[in-house]
Structure 1
Amino acid sequence: MTSARLTPATAALLTLPPLLWAGNAVVGRMVADLVPPVTLNFLRWVLAFAILLPLGGWVLRPGSGLMRHWRRFALLGLLGVGLYNALQYLALHTSTALNVTLVGSSMPLWMMGLGRLFFGASVTRAQLLGALLSMVGVAVVLSRGDWAQLARLRLVPGDVYMLLATIGWAWYSWLLAQRAEPDRLRADWAGFLLAQVVFGLGWSALMTAGEWALTDARIQWGWPLAAALLFVAVGPAVLAYRCWGLGVQRAGPTVAGFFGNLTPLFAAVMSTLFLGEAPRLYHALAFALIVAGILVSARR
């Protein structure tokens, strides 16, 4: 796919999703005491399903191709809908929104590693250098700027959860690149997402049942939680997917990838405004290293 000229309208389309994804991390942190993390993910996608149903409900009809490829969509639903968001919300219980988004920015490292190991993708020297810079950036985040912490292997649990979520999302992204479903299903963004959500809700329901059975889970209903659920369902779960898809079609995936790494910057600003988690010097260093790694690895 060739990239087109980056117009202001396309730039706006590609800027909105990182803003919403950063807001997702901040809101998840804000309601951490109101709803269990896995339950939050389940409720979020229940609302997203209700929103997507009128737009892509045709995918649930016989002959759409969904059931013929149910194994593929079951795996996509597990990785993209079930595990990733549940692990992210779980990470926000013990880590900050800024750290979670910075660790998530290590995505190019895991994308390259999984591609090389399991999908036959080649790795260049520039990509290796970029991966090294990204790895150092993640290490800065995990150590909180204190290298002695790495020697003691004292990691915040939330950082580990987010690393697992990021690896899962990288696997999910590679699977998305494998075109195995009918063109009609792939072309309809609402139907394609709904096909994943259908199976993802099943996985999420099982994990939510386990959360309620094994923990002292409880929900504090009220307008703050209702507003948060509405935001994470409409914004990060539906609107961001739509804008990102349009932006990638217009500018190409390479250019779009750079916009994705605006998420930590937006999260830093939002955390300062809403959570009182002011960015520190090591956050800036980590962000610079991760972005430098992406830029180096993207060079031809």
Structure 2
Amino acid sequence: MNLSLRTLALLVIPPMMWAGNAVVGRMLVGTMPPVAMNALRWGLVAVLLAPLAWRVCLAPRRILLRWPYLALVGMLGVGTYNALQYLALQTSTPINVTLIGASIPVWMMLVGRVGFGQTLQARQLVGAALSILGVLLVLAQGQWSVLRQVQLVPGDLLMLLASLAWALYSWWLAQPPAHMRGDARPDWDWAEFLWVQVLFGGLWALGCSAVEASWLGAHTLPGAPAVSWWPQGWRTWAGLLFIAIGPSILAYRCWGLGVQAVGPNLAAFFINLTPVFAALWSALFLGQWPRWYHPCALLLITAGIAVSSGWVRLRSDRGQNRGAT
């Protein structure tokens, strides 16, 4: 499969924005509860998209006929993935979170194989191995002995669950039910479709935020400072606006187009660029500059994308192609 420059841009912008989301999310730790922050984020997205998408409400029957699917993708892509990521950032670092998020291609292949009957090709497995090797290089900080000392914290485990949720979301986005395909598909544009997802996912996020508020209220120690449920200060508002516009609207739009263009398996490999962008974002905002192993990891991840996309063909693939002809 040949990737055009436009498709490459569509697939590179999301990991760039999501890396920024992880760094900004870490910067906002302690300013407000993480699940409430996710709910407010998508509330801002709903407001920003409303001028482009409000007409979808003129035909509510189209939504009601498809509500189980819309509720599912909204819950997975809007309500679950991001809430788990912000929870993970409470105890983990942006680099760790994005590194674990780079396991999404593996989850994507497993979900495709088990849930959608997709066959795995040799080049996909080799590409996954190269990309994971690049991720491990960053995790090891250029010294493989460091890997033996890595300890997973609760946030790392939460990010594993988030990665599985995103893999499921992407497959349901690429393989929708019959009423969302062909002539049966409603004539929603990208903003209307995303807005409907946000409406359903936002309800899930609000419900989870209420549970979080109840739990925090029951477990707050006497004399402890009260938790602010509303953003305090212009820095918090600036961070929320960034994650509402960049990682939400812009990234989701590009991701949807990218998945439609190349499929979820190949698109998933571009998520492995997120840790590299996280290192760059961390350098800009946290003063943590990239080390020599970051560009090396980028080369490995790029090689994985090249192999999985067919830019670099394996001998077994060429043999299979000759046999097919």
Q: Flag whether TM exceeds 0.5 (same fold).
A: yes
Q: TM-score, with normalisation over the residues of structure 1? A: 0.83
Displacement after TM superposition at 1:17 (Å) = 3.2
Aligned equivalent of 2:242 = 231
2:112 and 2:215 map into 1 onto residues whose CA distance is 36
2:293 and 2:153 map into 1 onto residues whose CA distance is 16
Moved more, 222-231 or 184-193: 184-193
Gap change, CA 1:269 and 1:149, over 3 Å in 2: closer
Displacement after TM superposition at 1:124 (Å) = 1.5
Gap change, CA 1:187 and 1:168, over 3 Å in 2: same
1:156 and 1:143 map into 2 onto residues whose CA distance is 16
1:226 and 1:208 map into 2 onto residues whose CA distance is 19
Aligned equivalent of 2:307 = 296
Q: 1:218 aligned to 2:228?
A: yes
Displacement after TM superposition at 1:127 (Å) = 2.1
Gap change, CA 1:18 and 1:128, over 3 Å in 2: closer
Gap change, CA 1:257 and 1:113, over 3 Å in 2: closer
Contact 2:62/2:186 (<8 A) preserved: yes
- 1:50-65 alignment runs, 5 A limit: 50-63=47-60, 65=62
Provide structure 1 residue ranges, at least 5 long, that are not aligned to the other structure. none
Gap change, CA 1:15 and 1:280, over 3 Å in 2: same
1:14 and 1:125 map into 2 onto residues whose CA distance is 22
- 1:34-73 alignment runs, 5 A limit: 34-63=31-60, 65-73=62-70
Gap change, CA 1:13 and 1:174, over 3 Å in 2: closer
The count of corresponding residues between Structure 1 and Structure 2 is: 296
Q: 1:167 aligned to 2:164?
A: yes
- 1:25-104 alignment runs, 5 A limit: 25-63=22-60, 65-104=62-101
1:5 and 1:228 map into 2 onto residues whose CA distance is 32
Q: Quick one: which of 245, 253, 267 aligns to 2:278?
A: 267
Gap change, CA 1:87 and 1:280, over 3 Å in 2: farther
1:212 and 1:125 map into 2 onto residues whose CA distance is 48
Gap change, CA 1:255 and 1:140, over 3 Å in 2: closer
Aligned equivalent of 1:125 = 122
Structure index of larger Rg: 2
Q: Deviations over 1:28-59 (max 9, x none)?
A: 11111101111110000001011112211222
Gap change, CA 1:21 and 1:66, over 3 Å in 2: same
Gap change, CA 1:295 and 1:121, over 3 Å in 2: same
Displacement after TM superposition at 1:233 (Å) = 1.0
2:63 and 2:210 map into 1 onto residues whose CA distance is 26
Displacement after TM superposition at 1:156 (Å) = 2.0
Displacement after TM superposition at 1:100 (Å) = 1.6
Aligned equivalent of 1:108 = 105
> What letter corresponds to residue 120 of structure 1 in structure 2?
G
Aligned equivalent of 2:205 = 204
Provide structure 2 residue ranges, at least 5 long, that are not aligned to the other structure. 221-226, 314-325
Secondary structure at 1:165 match in 2: helix
Aligned equivalent of 1:6 = 5
Displacement after TM superposition at 1:89 (Å) = 1.0
Q: Deviations over 1:170-207 (max 9, x none)?
A: 00000011233456646510111111111101110111
Q: Deviations over 1:135-155 (max 9, x none)?
A: 555566667778788778831
Gap change, CA 1:247 and 1:124, over 3 Å in 2: closer
Aligned-pair Cα RMSD in Å: 3.1
Contact 1:13/1:244 (<8 A) preserved: yes
Moved more, 142-151 or 44-53: 142-151
Q: Deviations over 1:39-86 (max 9, x none)?
A: 110000001011112211222233551110101111111100001001
- 1:8-23 alignment runs, 5 A limit: 12=9, 14-23=11-20
Q: Deviations over 1:249-297 (max 9, x none)?
A: 7x75588666544332221111022123444567666655554444333
1:229 and 1:201 map into 2 onto residues whose CA distance is 15
Q: TM-score, with normalisation over the residues of structure 2? A: 0.78
> What letter corresponds to residue 99 of structure 1 in structure 2?
N
> What letter corresponds to residue 20 of structure 1 in structure 2?
M
